[in-house]
Amino acid sequence: MCCSPRVPACVSESVTLQRAGSAPWMTVVLAGLALCGTLLPVSGCRRSAPDGAMADVNGTIITAARVDEYDRLHPQAFGNESGDQRRMDVLNEVIMEEVLEQRARKDHLEATDEDADEKLTDMKSGYTQEEFEQQLAAAHLTMQDMRTQVRRELTIDRLLNKDVFSRVNITDADLSTYYTGHQDEFHFPETRYHLSRIVVQALPVSAGGQQQDAAASRAEALRTIQLVHLRLQEGENFASLASSLARVKTAAIAADADITVSASQLHTDASLEESVEKLLPGQTTDVLASPDGTTYAIYKLLSRMPAGDYSFEDPRVQQYIRETLRTQRGDLLKAAYLDILRNQAHVRNYYAERLLQ
């Protein structure tokens, strides 16, 4: 017997019995629910998932193939997670991506194939054509996979810039208020260093992996960081370079635009301390390696602030506060925006339903 999408068949039958006058309505409905065996929406006569479907977002099917592709494109985003937990987390990212992409299309903010090709050209600039194709093959991706994903990301960037980040406005009064409430942040008992960094880590090899697989992963990480170093020397921006390289790789790349390290913290890493102390603001270190050869990093010195008290009038103080507030507010507004769009969307997670069966 068929039923409405939100009401299990057994509840519909209970209501029918009530209309016939056989029992009080509440009693019979509760009895009907008890016969269902569960109150979860996965019970009853909801339609089964289409073949290969993992979720439905406003009528658009999220396929297992798309989830697999997203995972291959963003291996570093989910750490060492595996199995159902990783699958669920990747799926949730894809669901949110689809929600955002649908909203962008509604607002006519879609990136074009030409936009995607321009970005791909930039991404390929550090590789020969053969090297780029090898990178794609290693990640089990095609050029069309890359073009589709880059176009999605450009589209979502346009949406977030329009609806979220354009709303972030930091006033002089905001700067003053922050300084008044956080003056202890500007009393430095020791020198502080503001740094940017790019870190490349060899991806872990599975338990059954061969020793040569681990060696190949380390070699790939080293080759990637050497490429990063070369392009930085040519004047490329830290953050944009890391973002473009992170999409095509077998090594995991991460970047921090601005981290603060005290002199005592820096002293715990002799190699880093020696390298940073030689730098002038704007300069970068050579490639630095971890003792086990699995992690490589490059640091850029943004500023060095000696021990002392810094007044609000110091331009470095105001710039630090402005960037701090911009990041905080941007993150908050983005989280709120994502929650609103996600709550407005009609989403059915078939994979979650299967886990509960």
- Return averaged pLDDT per consecutive 10 residues of the chain, 357 residues in all: 41 39 41 43 60 93 93 73 89 96 96 90 76 76 85 92 95 97 94 90 64 75 80 72 60 76 93 94 90 88 92 93 92 95 96 93
Nearest CA among 121, 128, 144 for reference residue 73: 144
Residue 178 lies in a domain: no
Say whether both 38 and 58 belong to one domain.
Answer: no
**C-alpha count within 13 angstroms, C-beta hemisphere, residue 80:** 6
Query: How many domains does the structure of the chain reveal?
Result: 3
Residue 269 lies in a domain: yes
Say whether both 38 and 64 belong to one domain.
Answer: no
Given this model, what pLDDT does residue 193 score?
94
Residue 320 lies in a domain: no
Cα separation of the two ends of the chain: 21
Residue 291 lies in a domain: yes
Cβ atoms 318, 196 nearer than 8 A: no
Cβ atoms 9, 1 nearer than 8 A: yes
Say whether both 215 and 301 belong to one domain.
Answer: yes
Given this model, what pLDDT does residue 210 score?
60
Residue 319 lies in a domain: no
Cβ atoms 59, 302 nearer than 8 A: no
Which residue pairs from 83-91 have beta carbons closer than 8 angstroms and sit at least 24 positions apart in sequence? 84/355, 87/351, 88/351, 88/352, 88/355, 91/54, 91/55, 91/62, 91/67, 91/349, 91/351
Given this model, what pLDDT does residue 337 score?
97
Residues 6 or more apart whose CB falls under 8 angstroms from that of 1 comprise 9, 12, 13, 45
Say whether both 65 and 149 belong to one domain.
Answer: yes
Cβ atoms 203, 75 nearer than 8 A: yes
Give the domain extent around 20.
1-46
Nearest CA among 114, 99, 28, 21 for reference residue 62: 99
Q: What is the pTM of this model?
A: 0.71
- DSSP secondary structure string for all residues of 247-284: TS-SEEEEEEEEEEEEHHHHHT-HHHHHHHHTPPTT-B
- Identify the domain boundary among 46, 62, 83: 46
